[in-house]
A = this chain, B = another copy of it.
Amino acid sequence: MTPANRRIALAARPRGLPVPSDFALVAEPVPVPGAGQFLVAHEVLGLAPAARLRMSDEAGSYAAPLQIGDTVYGQAVGRVVASRHPDFREGEWVMTMAGGWQDYSVTDGTKVWKIDPALAPPAVWLGALGVSGMTAWIGLREIGRPRAGETVVVSAASGAVGSCAAQFAQAWECRVIGIAGGTDKCRYAVDSLGLAACVDYRAPDFAEQLRAACPQGVDVYFENVGGAVRETVWPLLNQGGRVVVCGLISEYNRQGAPEPGPAWSDVLAKRLCVQGFILSDRVHRQAEFVAEAGELYRRGRLRFREDASFGLEQAPAAFIAMLQGRNLGKSVVHLTEPRKT
C-alpha cells in the first residue's frame, strides 16, 4: 500500500487574521522524484509570519501568491528517502526552504541545505541555524552593520528571528535592547538571552521605558513588527542610524491602505539607511552563516527556543497563534515523535 502525503492546502484567502477554515487537510499519493530530483520525508515544519504574505493576492508582495488549493509555504527539515539527484543521498538530513506544510516534498535541491544533526537537533535548523537565524544574520551583517558599543534595538526580541538578531548583536559587543509583548517574553529576553533590557510594548509607559533604556539613542533598529512599535523607536534613532526592515508582522493582516513610512525629512536629516531584504536573495552566504552561527551555538551564545506543536493538523492553529504573538520562540510543528531539543 502506498503511504499518503498529507498536506495543508489554502482553502480560502484570509481576510485579516486567518481562521481555521482558511485551511484544509488533504491526502494524496506521495510524489515520485523525477530525474535530478529527490524526495524528502519531513520531520519538523517551521512556521514563519512571512507565509501570511503569500496567502494574499495583492500585488507588491515579494513572493508569488499561493493559489487556492496550493500547499501552504514553509520550511521543513527531514531526511532524503528517495533520490535521483547526484548530490543528495538517501538518509541525508536536509532543510528545504520550500518544503511546505506536508509530510513529503520533492525538490531539485534548489534552496535545500544539508544539515548536521550532530551539531544541533533538527528543529534548530529551522530556527537559530536555519532560515530565522540566517535572516537575522544577513540583516545585521549587510544592513545594520552594528559596531561594538552601539545600541541595537530589536523588536519581537523573543521571537525566532529577533532572538537571533539580538544574540548576534551581543556577540559583536553591542548594547542590545529588546522589545516584546508581555512580561514572560521580556523576562526570557533578559534572563535567558542576556539582553541589556527588554521593554514591553504593551506597557502604558512603553515610550518612556524605551527612551530610558537607550540613553545613547539607537544606532540600529532591527524591524520585525512595524506599526506603533516602529513609531516609538523612530524618534530615538541617531544620526547615521540603520533600519533593517526584516518583517512587519503587525501589518501582514492589515487591509486597506499600506502603513505610511518614516518621515522623509528624518531620512535626510539623520542620514538614515532604511532597507528591506529577503533571505532568498542571499542564500549563497549560507556556509559562512553556519560557520559563525554554529560556533556561537556550540558555545551556548546562540540560544534557541522552540514553541512546539505536534501533528500536521495542528499547523493552522499554531500559525494563527504565532500571528497573534501567543508563541514564545520559533513555532515549529513536529510530524513525528518529539525529539529532545
Contact = CB atoms under 8 A, between A and B. Distances in A.
A251 B264 CA distance: 9
A273 B273 contact: yes
A57 interface: no
A270 B276 CA distance: 7
Contacts of A270: 60, 62, 276
Interface residues of A, number: 35
Interface stretch (A39-47, A115-123, A254-262, A322-330): A254-262
A261 B258 contact: no
A148 interface: no
Choose among A248, A269, A275 the residue with the greatest number of B CB atoms under 10 Å from its CB. A269
Interface string A83-105: 00000000000000000000000
A96 to B, nearest CB: 23
A258 to B, nearest CB: 4
A56 to B, nearest CB: 11
Given A261-B261, A263-B258, A264-B261, A62 B275 contact: no
B281 A271 contact: yes
Interface string A240-252: 1000011110010
A261 B260 contact: yes
A178 to B, nearest CB: 21
A109 interface: no
A321 interface: no
A341 interface: no
Interface in A52-70: 53, 60-62
A265 interface: yes
Contact of A265 (B258, B268, B275, B277): B258
The 3 closest A-B pairs by CB, nearest first: A261-B261, A260-B260, A258-B263
27 contacts: A60-B266, A62-B268, A62-B271, A246-B268, A247-B268, A248-B265, A251-B264, A251-B265, A258-B265, A259-B263, A259-B264, A260-B260, A260-B261, A260-B263, A261-B262, A262-B262, A267-B276, A268-B276, A270-B276, A271-B278, A271-B281, A272-B275, A273-B273, A273-B276, A274-B274, A274-B275, A275-B275
